[in-house]
């Protein structure tokens, strides 16, 4: 027979086959398959033949029972001449055999507690980290939204050519037109999420309110658990204020009282009728606690250019998001033509609601799971290596077992049992770790994780943890099979433990190289993220000493403060009281805190609409704000006392706005068209606004975007406008953010600040008390999450990699004790032995690092979107990582090397 | 004698052995089946069928030790008289069933 000797069936497959076929058939089956494999390899090439071989193995897997059953019939029928064939041994797959092997595995592992503990701890880390990340991923990303046919739900927002990506608010009149025009949406609801004060009880409470059109629950297909849904009647402007409670607030605040429906509560000191309680499954980004009727129908104040809403929709059966986008954008193109002043440059966008619910975490979570999977792989490689080393030292034992009648299948089953016992123990410890880790993750980063309340160690994640444990167990259990050649009984028994097999050590070395390479991959990722993070932290925010500023928000109940007079008095009193608080240096207030992005409006140079800069954030500021926030004046002057008292037309703009409006002129003294006047309103400021000063840019809410254009004007002016156009601006002026600057610890001032506020009006709640420093910190939320975890994984990867190198090196040294002893007896210096062993360590490290760096270069683009001002192939990071890995690996090799130099030549030679 | 009906695959295996001449071993049977059914054959199924046919008394086997040229021991299978009887019965039952409806093949076969 002409068989080419270089093509052999896959070794692992062959071993699995032996196991599946049972001892009686094994030889025949294996030889037949080998023969067929050769024929195929010659005819179709070795790759196809290998695939074929694996398919055949699968066939034996499915036919295993029949193969045994056929034998059973045969025996039962006595066709074989009575009695079982002499060679029949116990089936290695029988439950008894498994139990026996498991017991044996536990016993043999207990004899080497150090090895077992190390392997279990390693696997526990890998499995635990993976289970935890999977749970986060599952709760946050994978689990479908808890609504019927969730894939039909979409979230819609506007986008503008000048702004990257969609996600801008929409205006009610445009949405009403979209709603009328769409055929691909079966239903659609308009909403916005705001905060309000629940003022029923003695203590006012800040709540998140979702103002929604009556189609909300119908679109989600979520019937209420109590009471009635919102109706089109409720959509009418000026109607009775009605609310649906969420399950959460119904339980926490209203004691789950079913009779609450029909009762009245107070929101912002206005009576609100509670008509229903939503299903516990209702949840929405922004965590609204109360759903109120939007009352948008017939609301004359809803200007087309006034974007403050979003919308959700349920697609008609058979529609898809792409065609929906086309349809909506077609409708929007018509709206742009019809209402150019409000819609020019605008269009709209639809995306699956789930993507919106998940938010910006998706990418970083996917990267996390990639990184954590690498850590698991490293852990597996490590344990496989340990198993290999162990198998090496047990060659004699195996040979002995074999010669005493153990079957090959029996040995395979023993290996697998050991792997499974280790992995199962690792899995149990790992899942316990995961439980703790999930709590820690949600606690630390819950704010920047989507659907954080749904993240838990649940059945699915348990199943995940157990499944990877099983896979890990099979993998690490199978590795020693490469090494076990029980058929070489004689050699092994003759050789004793001396014969260091080059095959095993080559495999072990290859595994270490792989491990180092994987570690490089993870550490490079962590390094790049850390580098970005460092740059993000080092950015000039545009503020002075932001760690000395306490901020909080107050919101005046509209019922009591619906006129400019009382509002003015309240804030004036508050500012005076705050400046008197011990330690306070200055205090001021603003509609939106710095570093948080802002409310935008288009702004242009006076009489020159061509210069229009969309998305200019506006800040209505009080006296003292500039000092308290710590802005830098670049040119001109601050707003002065007169501007604050008399509502002058003076404004301060930032550098970015100055550059875009007046690129060639000194901005100070220039005029802007007044963006705050409603269309055609006979305002008192027809001459526009005068730029009196330019301040340095302050960063916005998005950590990697440049500072937005901004202008600052006196809050008094806004109040003044509100008095003229009450329907337009009131509401904005009642909820303000207050800043107090101190020389000392801003947190320590909080109680005094609270007392000062209560003395002025005890009904006004204070909320979101934070330092400006914390806000700067939180801006980086998602990234910090990604970086901290990547850092953790990198540390794990480094430790595991070091353990791997250490293991292989110290085993190598132990194996070569005799050789090293001879060398030293012949005059080799300790130094040269040290060098010898260390250079061996380097021979593992250098290819590992090289492969890892190459792999990281290839994979780096995956990280690109998470980086800030760092190239994904940043040479410095790569060099640093290579260096760190090199040092760690050498350190791991150093200990065994040191041990090698202490070998006593005499004892080592005598020991054999 | 009462004869258990042949399964389709069993029938095919027996036919393959018959086609090869007097005796054949597993590899030859697999190749024969693949050649004539033009499908990949799961070797495991062949082994199961061989076992079952042998336990039904339709096959006899003998081990052939490797010759001078090396190789390995092979188990050769040979049809028993019962096997020929069973195949004849199985073939006849197919023919009976097909009688009168073969024209359908031509109608739908294009």
> What pLDDT is stored for residue A488 in this prediction?
57
Q: Give chain A's length.
A: 912
Is residue B14's pLDDT more than 90? yes
A72–B contact, CB cutoff 8 A: no
CA distance linking residue A363 with residue B42, whole number of Å: 44
CB atoms within 10 A of CB A478: 18
In this structure, is residue B108 part of a structural domain? no
A233–B contact, CB cutoff 8 A: no
Q: What residues of chain A score a pLDDT lower than 50? A: 1-5, 70-93, 496-502, 678-684, 729
- Residue of chain B whose Cα is closest to the Cα of A38: B27
* Strand locations in chain B (E): 23-25, 59-64, 74-79
Nearest to A77 among B27, B43, B55 (CB): B55
Are the beta carbons of A316 and A185 closer than 8 angstroms? yes
- Residue of chain A whose Cα is closest to the Cα of B45: A63
Q: Nearest-CA distance from B37 to chain A in Å?
A: 17
What's the pLDDT tens digit per position in A191-224? 988 877 787 666 677 788 999 999 999 999 999 9
Q: Nearest-CA distance from A898 to chain B in Å?
A: 52
Nearest to B43 among A1, A56, A77 (CB): A56
- Residue of chain A whose Cα is closest to the Cα of B72: A31
Q: Which of residues 32-51 of A touch B (CB under 8 A)?
A: 32-33, 35-36, 39
Q: List C-alpha distances in Å: A807 to A273, A383, A621, A891.
A: 71, 10, 65, 12
CB contact under 8 A, A32 and B51: no
Q: Nearest-CA distance from B57 to chain A in Å?
A: 8
> What pLDDT is stored for residue A6 in this prediction?
55
Nearest to B45 among A59, A71, A79 (CB): A59
CA distance linking residue A692 with residue A864, whole number of Å: 41
Chain A residues closer than 8 Å to B43 by CB: 29, 32-33, 36, 56, 59-60
CA distance linking residue A523 with residue A521, whole number of Å: 6
Structure-block tokens of residue A488: 């070489």
CA distance linking residue A605 with residue A691, whole number of Å: 10
Domain encompassing residue B92: 8-99
Q: Is the dihedral of CA A577, A583, A588, A591 positive or negative?
A: negative
Q: How many domains does chain B have?
A: 1
What's the pLDDT tens digit per position in A580-602? 988 889 999 998 888 887 677 77
Interface test with A, best of B7, B39, B47, B62 (most A CBs within 10 A): B47
Q: List C-alpha distances in Å: A743 to A546, A548, A621.
A: 11, 6, 22
- Percent over 90 (pLDDT), chain A: 14
Per DSSP, helices labelled H in A45-112 are: 46-77, 95-110
Structure-block tokens of residue A194: 């705001």
CB contact under 8 A, A52 and B40: yes
Sketch the domain layout of chain A as residue ranges: 11-89, 95-146+362-499, 162-344, 501-540+775-912, 561-762
> What pLDDT is stored for residue A725 in this prediction?
66
CB contact under 8 A, B25 and A74: no
In this structure, is residue B105 part of a structural domain? no
Is residue B106's pLDDT more than 80? no
Of A351, A148, A785, A36, nearest to B46 by C-alpha is: A36
Residue A904 makes CB contacts below 8 A (sequence gap 6+) with: A821
Are the beta carbons of A189 and A309 closer than 8 angstroms? no
Distance between terminal CA atoms of chain A? 46
Q: What CATH code is carried by the domain that includes residue B42?
A: 1.10.10.10
Of B56, B52, B54, B64, nearest to B25 by C-alpha is: B64
Q: Is the ipTM of this complex over 0.85?
A: yes
Mean predicted lDDT score pLDDT of chain B? 84
- Residue of chain B whose Cα is closest to the Cα of A74: B55
> What pLDDT is stored for residue A1 in this prediction?
42
- Percent over 70 (pLDDT), chain B: 87
What's the pLDDT tens digit per position in A6-35? 577 887 788 788 777 776 777 888 888 888
A62–B contact, CB cutoff 8 A: yes
Beta carbon pairs, A and B, within 8 Å = 63
CB contact under 8 A, A63 and B45: yes
Of A383, A510, A523, A516, nearest to A801 by C-alpha is: A516
What's the pLDDT tens digit per position in B70-103? 667 888 999 999 999 999 998 998 888 888 887 7
């Amino acid at each position: 027979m002409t068989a080419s000797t270089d093509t052999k069936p896959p070794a692992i497959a062959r071993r699995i086959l032996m196991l599946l076929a049972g001892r009686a058939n094994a030889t025949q089956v294996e030889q037949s398959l080998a023969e067929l494999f050769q024929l195929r390899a010659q005819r179709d090439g070795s790759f196809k033949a290998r695939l074929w071989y694996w398919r055949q193995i699968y066939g034996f897997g499915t036919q295993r029972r029949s193969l045994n059953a056929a034998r059973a019939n045969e025996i039962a029928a006595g066709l074989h001449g009575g009695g079982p064939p002499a060679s029949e041994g116990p089936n290695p797959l029988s439950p008894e055999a498994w139990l026996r092997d498991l017991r044996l595995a536990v016993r043999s592992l207990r004899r080497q507690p150090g090895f077992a503990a190390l392997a279990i701890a390693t696997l526990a880390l890998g499995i635990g980290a993976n289970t935890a990340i999977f749970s986060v991923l599952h709760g946050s990303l994978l689990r479908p939204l808890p609504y019927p046919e969730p894939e039909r739900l979409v979230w819609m927002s506007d986008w503008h050519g000048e702004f990257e990506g969609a996600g801008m608010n929409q205006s009610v009149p445009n949405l009403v037109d979209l709603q009328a025009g769409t055929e691909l949406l079966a239903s659609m609801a308009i909403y916005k999420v705001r905060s309000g004060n629940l003022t029923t009880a003695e203590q006012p409470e800040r709540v998140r309110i979702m103002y929604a059109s009556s189609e909300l629950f119908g679109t989600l297909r979520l019937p209420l658990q109590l009471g009635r849904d919102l109706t089109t009647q409720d959509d009418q402007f000026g109607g009775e204020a009605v609310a649906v409670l969420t399950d959460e607030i119904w339980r926490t605040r209203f004691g789950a009282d079913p009779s609450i429906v029909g009762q009245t509560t107070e929101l912002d000191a206005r009576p609100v009728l509670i008509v229903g309680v939503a299903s516990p499954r209702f949840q929405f980004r922004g965590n609204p606690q109360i759903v109120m009727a939007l009352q948008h129908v017939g609301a004359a104040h809803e200007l087309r250019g006034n974007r403050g809403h979003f919308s959700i929709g349920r697609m008609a059966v058979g529609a898809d998001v792409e065609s929906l986008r086309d349809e909506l954008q077609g409708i929007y193109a018509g709206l742009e033509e019809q209402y150019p002043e409000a819609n020019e440059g605008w269009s709209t966008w639809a995306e699956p609601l789930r993507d919106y619910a998940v938010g910006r975490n998706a990418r970083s979570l996917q990267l996390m799971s990639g990184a954590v999977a690498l850590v698991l792989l490293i852990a597996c490689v490590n344990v496989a290596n340990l198993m290999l080393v162990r198998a090496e030292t047990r060659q004699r034992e195996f040979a002995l077992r074999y010669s005493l009648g153990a079957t090959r299948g029996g040995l395979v089953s023993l290996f697998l049992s050991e792997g499974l016992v280790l992995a199962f123990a690792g899995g149990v410890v790992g899942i316990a770790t995961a439980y703790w880790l999930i709590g820690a993750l949600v606690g630390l980063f819950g704010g920047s994780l989507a659907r954080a309340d749904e993240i838990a160690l649940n059945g699915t994640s348990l199943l995940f943890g157990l499944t990877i444990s099983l896979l890990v167990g099979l993998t690490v259990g199978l590795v020693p099979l490469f090494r076990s050649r029980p058929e070489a009984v004689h050699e092994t028994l003759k050789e004793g433990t001396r014969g260091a097999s080059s095959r095993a050590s080559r495999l072990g070395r290859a595994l270490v190289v792989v491990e180092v390479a994987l570690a490089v991959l993870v550490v490079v990722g962590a390094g790049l993220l850390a580098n970005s993070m460092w740059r993000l932290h080092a950015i000039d925010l545009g503020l002075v000493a932001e760690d000395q500023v306490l901020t909080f928000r107050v919101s005046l109940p509209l019922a009591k403060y619906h006129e400019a007079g009382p509002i003015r008095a309240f804030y004036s009193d508050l500012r005076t009281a705050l400046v008197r608080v011990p330690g306070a240096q200055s205090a001021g207030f603003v509609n939106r805190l710095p570093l948080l992005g802002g409310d935008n409006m288009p702004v242009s140079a006076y009489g020159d609409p061509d210069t229009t800069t969309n998305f200019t954030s506006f800040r209505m500021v009080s006296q003292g704000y500039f000092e308290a926030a710590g802005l830098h004046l670049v040119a001109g002057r601050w707003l002065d006392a007169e501007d604050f008292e008399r509502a002058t037309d003076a404004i301060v703009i930032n550098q970015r706005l100055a550059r875009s409006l007046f690129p060639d002129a000194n901005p100070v003294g220039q005029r802007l068209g007044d963006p705050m006047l409603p269309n055609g309103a006979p305002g008192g400021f027809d001459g526009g606004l005068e730029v009196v000063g330019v301040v340095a840019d302050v960063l916005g809410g998005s950590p990697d975007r440049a500072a937005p254009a901004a202008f600052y004007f006196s809050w008094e002016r806004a109040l003044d406008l509100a008095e003229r156009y009450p329907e337009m601006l009131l509401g904005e002026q009642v909820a303000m953010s207050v800043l107090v600057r101190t020389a000392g610890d801003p947190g320590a001032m909080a109680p005094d600040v609270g007392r000062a506020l209560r003395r002025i009006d005890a009904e006004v709640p204070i909320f979101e008390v934070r330092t400006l420093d914390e806000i700067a910190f939180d801006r980086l939320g998602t990234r910090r999450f990604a970086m901290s975890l990547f850092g953790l994984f990198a540390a794990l990867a480094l430790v595991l990699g070091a353990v791997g190198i250490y293991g292989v090196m110290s085993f190598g040294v132990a194996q070569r004790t005799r050789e090293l002893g001879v060398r030293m007896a012949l005059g080799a210096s300790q130094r040269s032995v040290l060098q010898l062993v260390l250079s061996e360590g380097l021979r593992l490290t250098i290819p590992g690092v090289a492969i890892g760096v190459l792999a990281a270069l290839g994979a780096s683009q995956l990280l690109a979107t998470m980086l800030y001002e760092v190239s994904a192939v940043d040479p410095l990071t790569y060099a640093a990582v290579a260096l760190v890995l090199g040092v760690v690996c050498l350190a791991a090799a150093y200990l065994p090397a040191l041990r090698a130099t202490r070998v006593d030549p005499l004892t080592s030679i005598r020991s054999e | 004698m009462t004869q258990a009906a042949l399964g389709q695959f069993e029938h095919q295996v027996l036919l393959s052995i018959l086609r090869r001449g007097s005796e054949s071993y597993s590899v030859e049977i697999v190749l024969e089946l693949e050649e004539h059914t033009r499908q990949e054959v799961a070797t495991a199924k062949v082994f199961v069928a061989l076992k079952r046919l042998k336990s039904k008394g339709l096959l006899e086997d003998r081990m052939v030790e490797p010759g001078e040229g090396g190789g390995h021991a092979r188990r050769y299978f040979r049809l028993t008289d019962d096997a020929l009887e069973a195949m004849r019965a199985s073939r006849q039952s197919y023919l009976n069933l097909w009688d009168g409806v073969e024209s359908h093949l031509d109608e739908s076969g294009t």
